[in-house]
């Protein structure tokens, strides 16, 4: 579809300078291209062009790989077509902007949000950017993404965020997706409050992001549950007050013992399988909140026969990235160190190697990998 558009506009050779950028571009770049389940390559692709007046072209400085990219590679998201450049996270420099873009100009450093927001549909006006009628999660999914030297960002004014001078840009890559996901879906939906006892089920990158951002609200106790002792050790250094390896312990019993039989005020599900969601159901206190972050492929059993009278809430959410400006302020003021999430660093053209490392996260003790120019 994108090539089609590029061809179409190539006839506008006499257009005034404002739309010069719509000319065919023979420049190429390197990118991570999906070629169907199990097949990928770091290969040449045409450098992206401005297609709409609201677009920006961003030169990637740093990007990363998400668990969702691994799912795409496995073929779990069949709607992703062969030829697609993957990746929906990163920071970069504005290379060019469409004529309607007013928040950014060439040379600005920006955070790329994983969610594209048009800023003018019903959902965007409500702050539900994830359900934007023209955007939402499309980067590296429905349109080409950020695991490349350049990327086209639609609705740039509403989908990019300016990086203050002097920032640690590596840390800010975590603001593209993982920090707002843990924060919005887990911490905000979970209504974490000072003094609360909370449980985070799953200590992968997004669970860790929930762990870091939950501390914005000063819970008294944070119990992290996982099956990987290494990740639990890391969780302790990130602020967990208790950790439980659920493969070698009865997590429900342990949590109920820790909470005097009351259960936790907030349970954050950061895995996405029935067993972990049902664990949350079992440990939630009366009046508590189960906040789902996990991407689920199957239905789960909801035990309404006990929960109907427990005054609980269960929430789901696809990240809206509406809190990115707030998160940026907390990073700038050093209230949070998202850099802690980065375990491995590569050059951009080591992309395949980085995928291998991230694909063996447990063995490699990987959380987030950074690929930089």
Contacts by residues 224-229 (CB-CB < 8 Å, ≥ 24 positions apart): 224/199, 224/200, 225/199, 225/200, 225/201, 225/251, 225/255, 225/279, 226/201, 226/202, 228/203, 228/362
Q: Which DSSP helix (H) or strand (E) runs through 95? A: strand 90-97
Choose among 222, 273, 282, 221: nearest CA to 250: 282
DSSP label at 148?
B
Identify which of residues 79 and 305 has a Cβ nearer to its own copies in the complex.
305
The CB-of-356 to its own copies minimum distance in angstroms stands at 28
Gyration radius of the chain's alpha carbons: 21
Check residue 244 and give left, alpha or beta (phi > 0: left; psi -120 to 50: alpha): beta
Identify which of residues 179 and 366 has a Cβ nearer to its own copies in the complex.
179
E-assigned strand segments in 193-295: 197-201, 221-226, 242-245, 264-269, 284-292
Identify which of residues 242 and 365 has a Cβ nearer to its own copies in the complex.
242
Identify which of residues 3 and 17 has a Cβ nearer to its own copies in the complex.
17
Contact 12, 19 (CB under 8 A): yes
Identify which of residues 336 and 341 has a Cβ nearer to its own copies in the complex.
336
Q: Which DSSP helix (H) or strand (E) runs through 68? A: helix 67-74
Identify which of residues 29 and 121 has a Cβ nearer to its own copies in the complex.
121
Identify which of residues 31 and 171 has a Cβ nearer to its own copies in the complex.
171
The CB-of-74 to its own copies minimum distance in angstroms stands at 16
Contact 5, 51 (CB under 8 A): yes
The two most distant CA atoms of the chain are separated, in Å, by: 75
Burial class (CB in 10 A: 0-12, 13-18, 19+), 114: buried
The CB-of-68 to its own copies minimum distance in angstroms stands at 12
Contact 104, 162 (CB under 8 A): yes
Q: What angle do CA 210, 215, 220 make, to 5 degrees?
A: 115
The CB-of-350 to its own copies minimum distance in angstroms stands at 32
The CB-of-100 to its own copies minimum distance in angstroms stands at 5
The CB-of-351 to its own copies minimum distance in angstroms stands at 27
Identify which of residues 14 and 79 has a Cβ nearer to its own copies in the complex.
14
The CB-of-217 to its own copies minimum distance in angstroms stands at 7
The CB-of-305 to its own copies minimum distance in angstroms stands at 5
Burial class (CB in 10 A: 0-12, 13-18, 19+), 239: middle
The CB-of-281 to its own copies minimum distance in angstroms stands at 9
Identify which of residues 191 and 350 has a Cβ nearer to its own copies in the complex.
191
Burial code of 294-330, b = ≥16 C-beta within 10 A, e = fewer? Answer: beeeeebeeeeeebeeeebebeebbbbbbbbeebbeb
């Amino acid at each position: 579809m994108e090539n089609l558009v590029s061809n179409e506009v190539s006839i506008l050779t006499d257009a005034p300078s404002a739309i010069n950028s719509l000319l065919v571009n023979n420049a190429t770049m390197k990118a991570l291209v999906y070629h169907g389940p199990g097949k990928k390559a770091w290969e040449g692709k045409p450098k992206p062009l401005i297609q709409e007046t609201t677009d920006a072209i961003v030169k990637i400085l740093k990007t990363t790989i998400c668990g969702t990219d691994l799912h795409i590679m496995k073929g779990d998201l069949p709607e992703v077509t062969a030829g697609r450049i993957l990746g929906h996270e990163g920071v970069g420099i504005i290379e060019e902007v469409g004529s309607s873009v007013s928040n950014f100009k060439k040379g600005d450093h920006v955070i790329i949000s994983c969610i594209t927001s048009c800023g003018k549909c019903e959902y965007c006006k409500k702050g539900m950017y994830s359900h934007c009628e023209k955007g939402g999660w499309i980067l590296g999914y429905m349109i080409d993404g950020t695991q490349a030297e350049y990327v086209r960002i639609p609705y740039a004014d509403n989908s990019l965020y300016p990086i203050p001078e002097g920032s640690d840009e590596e840390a800010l890559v975590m603001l593209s997706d993982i920090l707002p996901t843990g924060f919005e879906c887990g911490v905000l939906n979970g209504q974490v409050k000072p003094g609360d006892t909370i449980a985070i089920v799953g200590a992968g990158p997004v669970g860790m992001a929930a762990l870091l951002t939950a501390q914005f609200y000063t819970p008294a106790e944070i119990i992290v549950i996982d099956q990987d002792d290494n990740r639990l050790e890391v969780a302790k250094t990130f602020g967990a007050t208790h950790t439980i390896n659920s493969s070698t312990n009865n997590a429900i019993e342990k949590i109920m013992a820790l909470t005097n039989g009351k259960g936790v005020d907030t349970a954050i599900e950061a895995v996405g399988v029935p067993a972990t969601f049902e664990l949350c159901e079992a440990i939630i206190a009366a009046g508590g909140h189960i906040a789902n972050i996990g991407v689920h492929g199957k239905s789960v059993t909801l035990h309404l026969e006990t929960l109907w009278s427990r005054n609980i809430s269960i929430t789901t959410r696809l990240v809206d990235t509406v809190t990115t400006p707030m998160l940026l302020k907390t990073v700038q003021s050093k209230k949070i160190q998202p850099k802690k999430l980065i375990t491995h660093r590569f050059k951009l053209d080591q992309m395949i190697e980085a995928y291998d490392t991230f694909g063996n996260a447990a063995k490699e003790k990987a959380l987030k990998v950074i690929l930089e120019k």
